[in-house]
Chain A
Amino acid sequence: MSLEQSPEILLGVANVSLRIRQIDILQGVDLQVRAGEVVTLIGPNGAGKTTLVRTALGLQQPTTGVIYRREGLRIGYLPQRFHVDPVLPMPVRRFLRLGGGAPADLTATLAEVGAADLLDAALQELSGGELQRVLLARTLLRVPELLVLDEPAQGVDMHGQVELFSLLDRVRRQRGCAVLMISHDLHLVMAATGRVVCLNRHVCCTGSPAAVTRNPAFIELFGEEAARTLAVYAHDQEHKH
């Protein structure tokens, strides 16, 4: 299978497999992200979600398969773990400038993500939620066409998670950028996502949240109970249209 080279497609992998020390991490995975689209990767622990994203981003070489990234694509990446050693003094202001983006108004961009008062804080003093906002602001300064988020809500409390996802949704609509997101928080993700890809080393099923929650492969992976609960969230979303 080859990748359809449509200008719509920002990022894609075709028939990608990765084998490390006799263990299959990914098996024949296809994934495409088109302009303006929100794609969410879900799947159990060890399903290869982070590895798939790293492979698509060119950080990990696949054993076989094709990777496609549109020429000159500007990607904003929020990694799963972001830790700056306290020995490196790094105020938010300096960190934002480090991206090499346009010399935009830092304060305005911080305000856009609800972190206007953090301009002079040290990066290491930030809470999980504040850090995610600052990281998001930094990617926005680079005017991304695609945001790649690896479990953005990790280390953020429940209330903060809801806020963070609504912020992400708002920013994405305003900026019109595509989103590729890994998330464990199915119920939070379902409402805001356009397409769900359920991964368990291979792609189990893919489609709209409503379709995926009815898919037998999904039900088998996450259990009847979870599928029924999540179907409600997905259903709600359909009614908004």
Chain B
Amino acid sequence: MDDFLLRALIGGLLVALVAAPFGVFVVWRRLAYFGDTLAHSALLGVALSFLFDMNLTFGVISICLLVAVLLFLLQRRPMLATDTLLGILAHASLALGLVALSLLESVRVDLMAYLFGDILAINNADLIWIAVIGVGGLLVLGWLWNDLLRITVHEDMARIEGVRVDAVKLAFVCLLALLVAVMMKVVGLVLVTALFIIPAAAARRLAHTPETMAAVAAGIGCLAVIGGLSSSSRWDTPAGPSIVLVAALLFVLLYGLPLRRR
């Protein structure tokens, strides 16, 4: 196997494994739109990184974190419905990112690579970012897991029982922001949310507990990465979209199958 393909495979599998336990919460807590908003704002991070000559991942992480905190604060004092608020933030930041990038005359930016990912161009430094943020994110998520589940089941009940609801929710959206920043490299910012929600939604079909749903989602995500990369190397299809497409096919397959009802 070529080196670049091996790196792509390792990066993709890492992302799939890390995205799964976050993805189930994105699905349970109805945060799909939120993931999209983070991803769209990532382009602004890309633009700023070029503008100030910063490390790209660092720039993207900073902007994503900023948007996550902003949204968390706006949601506490709702003036508009959350989906409207998210739509405004997502598209305003995406537009700002596009405009900012076009103003950077000195650098030519391969926009497609950011929009749809460039998993085949992953280098060792990217792999280290993904591994460090991924493992760190998983550790923190593991620590928050039970509290997050309690909040998801019933927020008031969790609060009365002493769960620090706001702190846990804020920590979760910040983790999500970190993850989006590293996942963008693999499937691009347009498709990041797909990698969260499609394996998780597909896994629901086979899972009877929250934990098995996360594990099955991880498996489905890995299959999607392997399938997508195979298709990409065999038929020269774009890698990021191919991964998402395989995940979607697995979803259709699982929901099409007649399952024994418990």
Interface of A toward B, CB cutoff 8 Å: 54, 57-59, 75, 77, 79, 82, 84-85, 87-91, 94-95, 98-100, 122, 142, 148
Contact = CB atoms under 8 A, between A and B. Distances in A.
A99 B157 CA distance: 10
Contacts of A94: 209-210
A24 to B, nearest CB: 22
A98 B160 contact: no
Given A59-B160, A75-B160, A89 B208 contact: yes
Interface of B: 27-28, 30, 146, 149-150, 152-154, 156-157, 159-161, 201, 204, 207-210, 212-213, 262
A59 B212 CA distance: 32
A90 B150 CA distance: 11
Contacts of A90: 153, 209-210
A77 B153 CA distance: 13
Contacts of B152: 88
A100 B27 contact: no
A192 B157 CA distance: 25
Nearest to B152: A88
25 contacts: A54-B156, A57-B160, A58-B160, A77-B156, A77-B160, A77-B161, A79-B156, A79-B157, A82-B154, A84-B154, A88-B152, A88-B210, A89-B204, A89-B208, A89-B210, A90-B153, A94-B209, A94-B210, A95-B153, A98-B146, A98-B149, A98-B150, A99-B150, A122-B208, A148-B160
Main secondary structure of the interface of B (DSSP, over half): helix
Given A77-B160, A98-B146, A98-B149, A89 B212 contact: yes
A164 B152 CA distance: 27
Given A79-B156, A100-B146, A142-B161, A87 B209 contact: no
Contacts of B209: 89-91, 94
Contacts of B212: 89
Contact of B208 (A91, A100, A142): A91
Given A79-B156, A89-B207, A91-B209, 20 more contacts: A57-B160, A58-B159, A59-B160, A75-B160, A79-B157, A85-B28, A87-B27, A87-B201, A87-B204, A88-B210, A89-B208, A89-B213, A91-B208, A94-B209, A94-B210, A95-B153, A100-B150, A100-B161, A142-B161, A148-B160
A59 B153 contact: no
8 residue pairs, one from A and one from B, having the closest CB atoms = A77-B160, A88-B28, A89-B207, A89-B208, A94-B209, A75-B160, A59-B156, A77-B157
Nearest to B159: A59
Most chain B beta-carbon contacts within 10 A, residue among A57, A75, A98: A98
A89 B161 CA distance: 22
A84 B153 contact: yes
Nearest to A77: B160
Contacts of A142: 161
A122 to B, nearest CB: 7
A84 B30 CA distance: 12
A79 B208 CA distance: 25
A79 B210 CA distance: 22
Nearest to A142: B161
B46 to A, nearest CB: 33
A24 B210 CA distance: 42
B153 A98 contact: yes
A61 to B, nearest CB: 12
A144 to B, nearest CB: 10
Contacts of A79: 154, 156-157
Contacts of B262: 122
B21 to A, nearest CB: 14
Contacts of A148: 160
A142 B149 CA distance: 17
Contacts of A85: 28, 30
B153 A88 contact: yes
A98 B163 CA distance: 12
A91 B201 CA distance: 18
A94 B146 CA distance: 11
A87 B152 CA distance: 11
